[in-house]
Structure 1
Amino acid sequence: MTPLIRINCLAGVLAVLLAAPAAAQPQAAAAAPLASTVPSAPAGGDTHPHTAPADAATTATAQPPTRAAATVADAPLPPPSPDAQQAYMAARDKLVQIRTLRRQTNTQSSTGSGFFVSADGLLITNYHVISQLALEPERHRAVLVAVDGKEAPVQLLAVDALHDLALLRVAKADKDGDAPHHGALALRPANNPLNGGERIFSLGNPLDVGFAITEGTYNGLVQRSFYPRIFFGGTLNPGMSGGPAIDTQGRVVGVNVAKRLGAEQVSFLVPVEFVEQLLARSRSAEPVKGALHAELTRQLTEHQQALTDRLLAGPARTERYGPYRVSVPSESLARCWGDGRERRSESLFDFERSQCRIDSEVFTGDGDVGGLGLRYEAYDAPRLNPWQFANTYSQSFANEPMRKRGNRVRTGFECREDFVAGDAKLPLRAVVCMSAYRKFSGLYDLTVLAVSVDQPRQGVLGRLNVSAVSFDNAQRLASHFLQGFSSESAR
């Protein structure tokens, strides 16, 4: 067995384990490099040749949703119904394509869709469509392209990264001129909610080949979505992000945002209520002049606080792994998936593994942040002697990699290792690592790795990964995770 150097009360060691890393300089990690266990969906969608994020909420299927990659072949669409044709003709002059262009070369770096919500030139699109403009305005500008091919510059007024929305305005022709008047799509009022099975028509400019409409159905809200998402039973293609989804009366019910790869007609919309909220607080906003890192930091700080509070306030839930129990998120927040090896009488080493994930990621322009994932592995080796088990068990612990090097987004991980006590004084060997964001001040990535060290032939290993969390909430989450380990024999 790995020698038990010392057992400390958990509350007494957290301050040491979670010493804040420097935000400016990457530090050498005290543990081996560690890969994230939070499943990151393949990126894809509206940028070309770059990729867009996957931040739509999970459904009852096993795989996380993602914006469809442009390389994914989609099945031919059926011809539109007469209602779809009528809806398209009524809405087409309110639709636009949104292009982000490189200032130096005037080449486009991303395309998406958008729509007018006011006669004086206010537009809605997805945040991920214009994220490059939001983060690097000195290198990018944005234009709209109308259905008739006319192009006009647009200005960014505000973003709601948590719901993947952005508010734009058509730029004035000159200092004294006014933006031309436009037709605008009406928003479906909140007192008239959608009914299950109600037809929805999604509009946009797929794959930069022209404006189109697809027909589908409203299937309610996505289960276990951290933020509300509409489950749209229809097809969305890359380039349609930011376009409107309308009802049979031509009123906007949602904004195209994502689809699930490997599925047929499983797509997602941002509910129109968040469009209304963005308009209410930012309709009169002045155009954004510089990069929005400070505003994104504010929104991400709000997000991680809500995530931490919801996780810790949820009902206590544990799963059994051999002689141990570990904590897992509430089923209303996350779904856990497991695998392992069938127990056999001749087996020298058996294990069970499970992963839990809260689909709470937020796309920032530098990737998805704000997610939380857990992984547990239980080991049972009745036919190994204690030294053989300790060797195999230690290798599993050492094989957990940790990012040592920093990059332009984050510093390298700084780690602390100690022996601590879980619930009912279960002895644990724990490593806590943190990495600071360079441009989102006060936010960190957190990884906690823990293994039980009380049994000669049995053990449980757990890993917690959280991204873009405050230092105080990192302490709360690490403590909650470690206190969630307990032994059945101690109960």
Structure 2
Amino acid sequence: MKAFFTLVFILFSSTTFATEQAEEIFAQLTPSLYQIKLIDKASGEKSSIGSGFQISADGIIATNYHVISSYARHPEKYRIEYLDHQGNMAEVDLVSVDVINDLALVKRQVNNEMPYFKLSDKKPIKGEKLFALGNPHDLGMIVVPGTYNGLKKESFNERIHFTGSINSGMSGGPVVNKLEKVVGINVATSGNQIGFLVPHDKLVTLFNDYNKKAPTDIKQQMSAQLMANQDKLMSALINSNWQSKELASKALFPLIDVPFIRCWGDSNADKKDALILAAIASCSLDENTYLSSHFFTGSVEIEFRYMQAKNLSDNKFYHLYQRQIARASAGNRGGKDDISEFQCHDDLIKPASTANTSKEINNKSIFCTRAYKDFPGLFDVLYLGASIDRNQQALVSHFTIAGVSQENAMAFTAKFMEAVSWK
């Protein structure tokens, strides 16, 4: 019993200390915290709300790109305002973005030097206590204690796994250590005390680049970042090891050996009354790049679907097969102001003769592309290959990639087609 009361006392003392420390940090840093609002000019009402924090004496404020994304893409329609802890409001200018890491810098007008957040010169260690600050649900600024759990696994672009309640409206707020130095930026939540942060070194790079370079057109800056990131991603995919894996013991499909592409499998082998035996392997990149509320890019989706008829005529099987093919579509969302209509080319593909012709697949292939209107040289790509060489067996191989160059699209497609075969 004594041990129990001792444990309760320790837990109570630890919680009390964390709360007191959080309150002290909040009191010290509140003057440099802001609510960031996007205002629709025509209505005069707010369109989105997030958080921001000052990182220089001359008024540079950091926030998330997604908080101000509508302004970045349509500056004629919106303006950006801040609200400080004393209720003062004023307009700010967007001066730089990092769309890949969901960061933005805005600048307020200042008459005198102001207090600001210091950026840490080192990364936190696993298990370290951190404090997230922000403006959840437009309720005012708060501080939330949490724990650093390292970088998110299986991620192409780095994100910190943070155990703490990051809520809507806290996006763009700082996460500090006990020395009150910024080690991350609030960006997303998965609920259940699971949050994700942008590592602070991404903000350090953006801020340093802003200080070194002449002012840049925001759309040109975004375009260059998207182009560089897709080149990095596609190079990693194309140059990685593509392992051959069986599908339903009948076909071979490529498994791309990179940690950020995750795969799942399914089949209807347990359905005795199914007219067609189906086995599916689906792989995807579990992240994307936010451009606006209705336009995302940077996604990769791959699917292989094997089908075998069970007591069906060739005509009936072909009809059901065609319906499966028709379901293939691009997963990337975008409106007519963002992207062009798909332009498609289809052909019968017969692979070059090999030593084992029984493994070759004769495909009806469809290759489609659509262009990004604001970001020249970037395209969404859809490929579908449907086998036509076996009467009651079929293999559909399909992928979509969002926001790639023509060169990378063609290189990936060529390698993809060569890697699919019968077993």
Structure with greater helix share of residues: 2
Query: Which residue of the other structure, out of 439, 442, 446, is the alignment partner of 2:377?
Result: 442
Return the alpha-carbon distance in structure 2 between the equivalents of residues 310 and 239 of structure 1. Answer: 34
| Residue 91 of structure 2 is aligned to residue 156 of structure 1 | no
| Residue 169 of structure 2 is aligned to residue 239 of structure 1 | yes
User: Which secondary structure state, in structure 1, belongs to the residue aligned with residue 409 of structure 2?
Assistant: helix
| Residue 246 of structure 2 is aligned to residue 311 of structure 1 | no
Return the alpha-carbon distance in structure 2 between the equivalents of residues 401 and 118 of structure 1. Answer: 46
Distance change (3 Å), C-alpha of 1:464 and 1:104: same
Distance change (3 Å), C-alpha of 1:138 and 1:347: closer
Return the alpha-carbon distance in structure 2 between the equivalents of residues 406 and 119 of structure 1. Answer: 40
Return the alpha-carbon distance in structure 1 between the equivalents of residues 82 and 212 of structure 2. Answer: 20
Structure 2 residue ranges without an equivalent (≥5): 1-14, 355-359
Contact 2:240 2:258 in 1 (8 A): no
Give 1:331 deviation, angstroms: 4.3
Give per-residue Cα distances to partners, 1:76-95, cap 9 Å, x unaligned: xx997222222212221211
User: Which secondary structure state, in structure 2, belongs to the residue aligned with residue 149 of structure 1?
Assistant: coil
Contact 2:346 2:367 in 1 (8 A): yes
Report runs of 4+ in structure 1 exceeding 4 Å deviation: 284-288, 343-347
| Residue 16 of structure 2 is aligned to residue 81 of structure 1 | no
Give per-residue Cα distances to partners, 1:30-68, cap 9 Å, x unaligned: xxxxxxxxxxxxxxxxxxxxxxxxxxxxxxxxxxxxxxx
Q: In the alignment, residue 420 of structure 1 is paired with which amino acid?
A: I
Contact 2:71 2:80 in 1 (8 A): yes
Q: In the alignment, residue 151 of structure 1 is paired with which amino acid?
A: M
User: Which secondary structure state, in structure 2, belongs to the residue aligned with residue 163 of structure 1?
Assistant: coil
Return the alpha-carbon distance in structure 2 between the equivalents of residues 138 and 406 of structure 1. Answer: 19
Structure 1 residue ranges without an equivalent (≥5): 1-77, 173-178
Superposed counterparts of 1:178-189, under 5 Å: 179-189=111-121
Return the alpha-carbon distance in structure 2 between the equivalents of residues 391 and 367 of structure 1. Answer: 34
Return the structure number with greater relative CO, CA threshold 8 A, min gap 6.
1
Query: Which residue of the other structure, out of 136, 143, 149, is the alignment partner of 2:81?
Result: 143
Query: Which residue of the other structure, out of 318, 321, 338, is the alignment partner of 2:247?
Result: 321
- Residue 348 of structure 2 corresponds to which residue in structure 1? 419
- Residue 410 of structure 1 corresponds to which residue in structure 2? 339
| Residue 125 of structure 2 is aligned to residue 198 of structure 1 | no
CA RMSD of aligned residues (A): 2.2
Give per-residue Cα distances to partners, 1:337-367, cap 9 Å, x unaligned: 1222124666432111222111341111252
Q: In the alignment, residue 396 of structure 2 is paired with which amino acid?
A: L
Superposed counterparts of 1:313-352, under 5 Å: 313-322=239-248, 323-343=250-270, 347-352=274-279
Contact 2:175 2:182 in 1 (8 A): yes
| 131-140 vs 273-282, greater mean Cα deviation | 131-140
Query: Which residue of the other structure, out of 390, 397, 403, is the alignment partner of 1:455?
Result: 390
Superposed counterparts of 1:5-404, under 5 Å: 81-171=19-109, 179-190=111-122, 193-260=123-190, 263-283=191-211, 292-322=218-248, 323-343=250-270, 347-365=274-292, 367-400=295-328
Contact 1:321 1:460 in 2 (8 A): no
Give 1:146 deviation, angstroms: 0.9
Distance change (3 Å), C-alpha of 1:370 and 1:356: same
- Residue 12 of structure 2 corresponds to which residue in structure 1? none
TM-score, with normalisation over the residues of structure 2? 0.88
Identity, % of aligned pairs?
Answer: 29
TM-score, with normalisation over the residues of structure 1? 0.77
- Residue 38 of structure 1 corresponds to which residue in structure 2? none
Give 1:399 deviation, angstroms: 3.8
Give per-residue Cα distances to partners, 1:200-225, cap 9 Å, x unaligned: 11000111110011111111100111
Return the alpha-carbon distance in structure 2 between the equivalents of residues 180 and 285 of structure 1. Answer: 24
| 197-206 vs 315-324, greater mean Cα deviation | 315-324
User: Which secondary structure state, in structure 2, belongs to the residue aligned with residue 320 of structure 1?
Assistant: strand
Structure with greater strand share of residues: 2
Give 1:387 deviation, angstroms: 3.3
Give 1:294 deviation, angstroms: 2.3
Return the alpha-carbon distance in structure 1 between the equivalents of residues 94 and 171 of structure 2. Answer: 17
Q: Give the number of equivalent residue pairs.
A: 398
